[in-house]
Amino acid sequence: MTAPQAPHQTRTFQSVLVTGGAGFIGSHVVRTLLRNHEGIRIVNLDVLTYAGNLSNLRDVEGDARHTFVKGDIQDGALLAGLFEEHAFDAVVHLAAESHVDRSIENPLAFLETNILGTATLLNAAKTSWTARGCMETSLFYHISTDEVYGSLGEDGLFTETTPYDPRSPYSASKASSDHVVRAYHHTYGMPVVISNCSNNYGSHQFPEKLIPLMIRNIVEGRELPIYGEGVNVRDWLWVEDHAAAIDVILNRGWVGDTYNVGGLNEWRNIDLVHKLIELVDAKLGREHGQSKSLIRFVKDRAGHDMRYAIDASHLEARLGWKPSVTFEEGLAGTVDWYLENQDWLEEVTSGEYQKYYEAHYTNRG
């Protein structure tokens, strides 16, 4: 593969296809790009699986620079039409099946969406950019995960040169899609960039992932299921810092480069759950540690990776990105958001959120 090259100048993309923009990270990315780039036009393509929630984007609904399209990244004809109509000069690809537990239950859906979907998208971009003669000035940006690197022991951090060793169907599907993206760069000269990020937390995260699930259960006095002994370690990054990193990488990332994104915030699951109990109980005026009795150690996840931890120094050195908040600040703000947005949680839990698209987006001229 050719060595990554610095862009001659900060790029300013005019017409950007964001995939998965109704999901957790994608909705923050859409908001960040609209805030930071006045002249941008975004088409947000999302098929609205259980994880897609258009009410996540309520605040940008009136923004004419943002167009939502309900559709599947595996639909080549739809993609060809969108490329033709909007002449995208960049793709920011986040659409994916994203939950490890679901990938253990139903691996095929992950292989289809994450591998075939990414390949279909790459193909549409290649066809369009070749036909328009703008391959060199375009960019395909794939948002990936640190889970492609496998599982760490007690020491060490994942760097961009850590060999891939995915161990769940989810991480295997993301690793495969990273490889396909690099293959398009190497074989067809497509300008690509990939970032591999650690676990995100923050507002609008579907409450199947550890932090929002635990907050919801603590509030409602439900059991708190901890897999195994709770000693697995995850490295947590505030989602808005991830969105800021994505913006920086989109505009200044070196073509062909890979960036690890993380905040040096390692927590054992059990310690994190204790921290959440402390924060939520205090906010709700409960006795200190009252909700500890809700903790239940349950059967471990199959193939549960022990530890993830990211070295993000390459991103900082090359592009100057650093997290903007400490974990304490980010977590406290996140707890506040879920407590103040119980209606969001209720709509997600009841399934009501799935009616948002029909109620707000159909019947529009």
Residues identified as active-site: 146-147, 170
Q: Is 115 in the site for ligand NAD (CB under 6 A)?
A: no
Residue 200 interacting partner from ligand NAD, ligand TYD, none (CB closer than 5 to 8 Å by kind): ligand NAD
Q: Which does 20 bind (CB under 5 to 8 A by kind): ligand NAD, ligand TYD, none?
A: ligand NAD
Question: Least CB distance from residue 222 to ligand TYD, whole Å?
Answer: 11
Among 209, 216, 242, 307, binds ligand TYD (CB under 6 A): 209
User: Binding to ligand TYD by residue 199, rule CB under 6 A?
Assistant: yes
Q: Does 226 bind ligand TYD (CB under 6 A)?
A: yes
Taking the complex as a whole, how short is the minimal distance between the CB of residue 212 and ligand TYD, in angstroms?
A: 9
- Please select the residue that binds ligand NAD; options are 73, 119, 193, 211, rule is CB under 6 A: 73
Q: How many residues bind ligand NAD (CB under 6 A)?
A: 32
> Using CB under 6 A, which of 16, 30, 48, 193 touches ligand NAD?
48
206 binds ligand NAD (CB under 6 A): yes
At its nearest, how many Å lie between ligand NAD and the CB of residue 13? 19
For ligand NAD, give the closer residue by CB, 132 or 160. 160
Q: Give the residue, chosen from 47, 125, 181, 190, that forms a contact with ligand NAD under the rule CB under 6 A.
A: 47
3-state secondary structure the chain: CCCCECCCCCCCCCEEEEECCCCHHHHHHHHHHHHHCCCCEEEEEECCCCCCCHHHHHHHCCCCCEEEEECCCCCHHHHHHHHHHHCCCEEEECCCCCCHHHHHHCHHHHHHHHHHHHHHHHHHHHHHHHHCCCHHHCEEEEEEEHHHHCCCCCCCCECCCCCCCCCCHHHHHHHHHHHHHHHHHHHHCCCEEEEEECEEECCCCCCCCHHHHHHHHHHHCCCEEEECCCCCEEEEEEHHHHHHHHHHHHHHCCECCEEEECCCCEEEHHHHHHHHHHHHHHHCCCCCCHHHHHEEEECCCCCCCCECCECCHHHHHHHCCCCCCCHHHHHHHHHHHHHHCHHHHHHHHHCHHHHHHHHHCCCCC
Residue of 28, 31, 185, 234 that binds ligand TYD (CB under 6 A): 234
Choosing from 128, 232, 251, 334, the residue that interacts with ligand TYD (CB under 6 A) is 232
Which residues here bind ligand TYD, judged by CB under 6 A? 100, 199, 209-210, 213, 225-227, 232, 234, 269, 301
